[in-house]
Amino acid sequence: MTNKDIANEILKNVGGKENVTANVACMTRLRLGIKDNNQVNVDELKRIDGVLAVVQADTLQVVLGPGKVNKIAEPFAELTGVPLGSEADDETESTENIKEIAKENKQANKAKHDKPLQRGLQHIANVFIPLLPGIIAAGLINGLANVIDYQTGQAFATDWWYMTIKTLGWGLFTFLPIFVGMNAAREFKGSPILGGIGGTLCLGVVVTGSPLSTQAISMPFTHAPYTVGVGGLITALIMGIFFAFLERNIRKIMPSVLDTFFTPLLTVIIGSLIAVVFLQPVGAGLTTAIYTVMDFVYTKLSVFGGFILSSTFLALVSVGLHQALTPIHVLLNDPTGPTHGINYLLPILMMAGGGQVGAGLALYIKSKNKRFKKMVMSSIPVAILGVGEPLMYAVTLPLGRAFVTASIGAGFGGIVASLFHLGAVSQGVSGLFGLLIMQPGQQLSYLLALLVAYLGGFVVTWFFGVDENRINEIYPE
């Protein structure tokens, strides 16, 4: 059906042009003033191709989606002879619209960049995301426990309740390779428990009675000493994926009567031997490479590295490449790792949201488009609290230039975060809520860095990022 055909069908099912007193195009819906509601056939309206929903309120609202509504509203107005309006009635409508358009823009952008790399990174992210609640809790426990121990001289070290809580904080990271192996196997269509068994090879636990405690054991090919726990979380991830692959292929050739017993047995035995000889060295090499790169960017490049990281993060998010950072954040929050559980990368990246807030404020103040201003203002409060998707996908990213200036402005916040050596003890929040996960004593420094990001985004956008013609083109009044 053409847009005019859809407009004709809508008009027919609302009682004809004599029954329409007003037609207003909002962000996603055509809102109609109706003389006699008894003439409206709601069921038939919902069946029209292109109509997403019908809402009966003080006006009849035909939901068509952003962009589509304008293409249908214009021929509809011509058919009724009633001039087309476009102003939303209230702030609630604006808030609802910003969420809808952000969601649809995000889905469209995701489809546009749905490439093998992005899909692969999404699989990796799916392994770690279910673990985040535990990582957040354990990270906060470890951070608070360190402060309490330092301030009190370990006064609670002999209290059972304190040791119980502290044990949970360290316990999660101790056994995290098992959880990573399980989730990796599940994500790649294998049995989670078999992936978890592969993860045990990364725990660094010596079997009771093992000769490792008294003598060296040589590895094949390299004749290097056999050591347990090589590779950490990256190896556990690789093992979970490999065990899933191995299990699926063994099951294809295993007779059904033997499958229950021999498929898991062969998966574990073959998988573990290959993993120890080949996969663990690969995982260890990748882990070392990650730390080396992070150290170079953070230490060697210093404030320049902070600017690069924070100013490019929004671009990574927009195309889904930020998923690659999920396991890196987990590595940095591991108290047994080189950074002792302090994530120096996260506060720098969190400045990206600050740049967007500043850009949004500049757009709001400088633009004359009332409809656009309502959209921006409805998205800024949640962005300040750390939820930046509505502002990015509904405002800055569609405008293009404002997205670039927001990213540049965020870079100045990244410089300050690098100068103050900000570190997070956990993850999962950003914006003002990021104050909760900063190292104790760094809250004011974090707030200053965030304010600099706000200011940077505002100033750069004010001078270079406001294109009123583009705004009016995308968000016509």
Q: Tokens representing 434?
A: 């990021």
Whether the pLDDT of residue 208 is over 70: the answer is no
93 pLDDT tier (thresholds 50, 70, 90): very low
Secondary structure of residue 441 in the 3-state scheme: coil
Q: What is the mean pLDDT of the chain?
A: 87
Residue type, 70: N
Q: Is 26 considered catalytic here?
A: yes
Length of the chain: 477
Both tokens of residue 128? 């770690």
Three-class DSSP category at 465? coil
pLDDT above 70 covers what percent of the chain?
91
Nearest-CA neighbor of 86 among 162, 31, 151, 147?
A: 31
Q: Which residue has the higher pLDDT, 216 or 43?
A: 43
In this prediction, residue 90 carries a pLDDT of 44
d(CA 190, CA 246): 9
Q: How far apart are CA 382 and CA 102, in angstroms?
A: 13
Tokens of 149: 């121990």
With CA atoms as reference, report the closest residue to 452 among 315, 355, 386.
355
Q: Tell me the pLDDT band of 87, cut-offs 50, 70 and 90.
A: very low
Nearest CA among 227, 110, 244, 266 for reference residue 180: 244
Neighbours of 284 (CB within 10 A): 18
Confidence of residue 99 (pLDDT cuts 50, 70, 90): low
Amino acid at residue number 454: Y
| pLDDT bucket at 98, cuts 50 / 70 / 90 | low
Please tell me which residue, 299 or 406, carries the higher pLDDT value: 406
Of 6, 14, 26, 402, the catalytic one is 26
Q: Distance (Å, rounded) from C-alpha 14 to C-alpha 34?
A: 8
Domains and CATH numbers, the chain: 3-86 (3.30.1360.60), 124-286 (no CATH), 306-474 (no CATH)
Element (H, E) at 32: strand 29-34
> Rounded to an integer, what distance in angstroms lies between the CA atom of residue 379 and that of residue 59?
25
Sole residue written with tokens 């090499």: 285
pLDDT digits (tens, 9 = 90+) for 39-73: 999 889 988 988 877 877 667 888 887 667 888 98
Q: Residues 162-197: pLDDT tens digits?
A: 999 999 988 899 899 999 999 999 999 999 999 999
Residue 71 CB coordination number (10 Å): 17
At 135, the amino acid letter reads: I
Helix (H) or strand (E) holding 24: strand 20-25
- Residue 132, C-beta contacts closer than 8 angstroms, at least 6 positions apart: 427, 428
